[in-house]
Amino acid sequence: MLKDFLVPIHRAGWPFIAGGVLVSLVLFALFPPLAWLMVVLTAFCVFFFRDPERIVPVRPGLVVSPADGLVSAVDRVPPPPELDMASEPVTRISVFLSVFDVHINRVPCDGTITELAYNKGKFLNASLDKASAENERQSVRLTLDDGRHLAVVQIAGLIARRIVCELRDGQSVRGGERFGLIRFGSRTDVYLPSGISSLVAVGQRMIGGETVMADLNSAEPQRPGEAR
């Protein structure tokens, strides 16, 4: 039970937390009412940068969600042009992360990193469809063992101003591994290989590293969803 409360903190959060603690101590000596506001902000940083363990499904072919959040769109669009993939439309699943979601990004499936592309851009609301093309983003091409490609794109949002991607070209990765984060609200898109359909629906809540988004070894059509 104690483990549920003592969640690890991602190392990217410690500078914010340490800075908040230091400023809080100074303010308590100078102006206590403002110090309590700083304590709240510091506590929020602890909450935001939490990095819980996840139980990852490991059957070959499963594609897991790269992020916590809500599925904001499932559509068919061409892959990001900066990744030099085929231009025909594929299924794209977009996951919108609010400031209250865990912001750690995870690799969707096993493979090798074969392309990394960073694009500067705007900071529109990440829930908008045009955010995929216009916002600041980090695009990743993942090549599977059978030669097919899958793409993951970290997209900065209205509040987010920093994308962290720890992957490197040629790196072998496993599904569910942590690979980065986006600070303070964002969106993560997954572009499935050609012919693969989504097994999740718009409005469905994702758990990064655990929720299965697609099955590369299945010809099952896209699953619909409805609120009940």
186 as an active site residue: the answer is: yes
Query: Any idea which residue has 């506001």 for tokens?
Result: 37
DSSP 220: P
Contact status, residue 44 vs residue 75, Cβ threshold 8 Å: no
C-alpha atoms less than 13 angstroms from C-alpha of 158 in its C-beta half-sphere: 8
Distance of CA 1 to the CA centre of its chain: 27
State the DSSP string of 86-153: --S-EEEEEEEE-TTS--EEE--SSEEEEEEEEE--B---TTSTTHHHHB-EEEEEEE-TTS-EEEEE
3-state secondary structure of 30: helix
Catalytic residue among 65, 72, 94, 186: 186
Positions annotated as catalytic residues are 186
